[in-house]
Structure 1
Amino acid sequence: MMDLDEIDRGLIRALAQDAQASAGALGRQFGLSQPAAWRRIKRLREAGVFRGVRLDLDKAALGFSVTVFLGVKLATKGRISLEDFERVVAAIPEVQTVEHVLGMYDYRLRVVARDIPDFERVLRRRLMTLPGVGSVDANVLLSEERRPGPLG
């Protein structure tokens, strides 16, 4: 874990909001020269603080208006390895995230679909046919509010 000062935390917050912000603009925002801002960003990147840059896609604009969270309980853990299940389920394009969790379920999946009938198709034809699936519990996302993370 690296020591972060207020400027580092500010840079992280700013880049979390706009990963394409230039070092010059960030330097002006935080009272640094462009090279000093660039050096700090480079140091944070090399320390592994940033895992990468990704686009925040508008699922509805792409035709995916339904998001469902699935709790998946495997039937018997001995018959299929967790790695095999993760590999197979991650290959399904509608599955956005695969989280191995502790509690009532073995996995929590975030699945997108065009509509409820499309989700039912994905559930019946792709997810329920996976080896090792015992029970599935679905929760349809009604609304989502993004909140700043621990540094926000």
Structure 2
Amino acid sequence: MIELDAQDRAILHALVEDATLSSPALAARIGLSQPVTWRRVRRLEEAGILAGRRLDLDLEALGFGVTVFLGVKLATRGRVSLTDFERAITAIPEVQTVEHVLGLYDYRLRVIARDLADFERVLRRRILALPGVGNVEANVLLSEERRPGPL
């Protein structure tokens, strides 16, 4: 792991706010020259601290009005391998995240759907049809507040 100084943290903070900043715009925002900023960004990428950039889509504007968090407990671990379950569940496009967790459930899923009827279809026909799925608990997202984590 590399040591991060105040300028590295400023670069990360600026990119968390807007990952589309060009090198000159980023340099102007943090008060460094463009070549120095570019070299620092490259160093952060090579160290694996900056692992890519992604778009933040407005799911509701795209027609996905429901987000549901599912807790999934596998019925029998011996019959279905975790790898097989993960491969099958990640093939379902409505499943946005798959997290293997400790606790009451084996997996925590984030599932998007157009509405509750669409979610029920995904749940019944795709998720519950997977081999090894035992108990499932659903929590419908009412609102989401996003805060970038500390750097």
Between the aligned partners of 1:128 and 1:62, the Cα distance in structure 2 is 26
1:78-131 per-position Cα deviation (integer Å, ceiling 9, x unaligned): 000000000000000100000000001000000000000100010000011100
2:45 matched residue in structure 1: 45
- 1:52 deviates by 1.2
Q: Secondary structure at the match of 1:50?
A: coil
1:149 matched residue in structure 2: 149
Between the aligned partners of 1:5 and 1:110, the Cα distance in structure 2 is 35
The equivalences for 1:3-152 within 5 A come to 3-151=3-151
Between the aligned partners of 1:62 and 1:148, the Cα distance in structure 2 is 24
Question: TM-score under structure 1 normalisation?
Answer: 0.97
- 1:150 deviates by 2.3
Q: 4+ runs of 1 displaced by more than 3 Å?
A: none
Name stretches of at least 5 consecutive residues in structure 1 with no aligned partner. Answer: none
**Taking every aligned residue pair, what percent have the same amino acid on both sides?**
70
Question: TM-score under structure 2 normalisation?
Answer: 0.98
- State the aligned residue count: 151
Q: CA RMSD in A?
A: 0.7
Between the aligned partners of 1:101 and 1:50, the Cα distance in structure 2 is 25
Q: Secondary structure at the match of 2:40?
A: helix
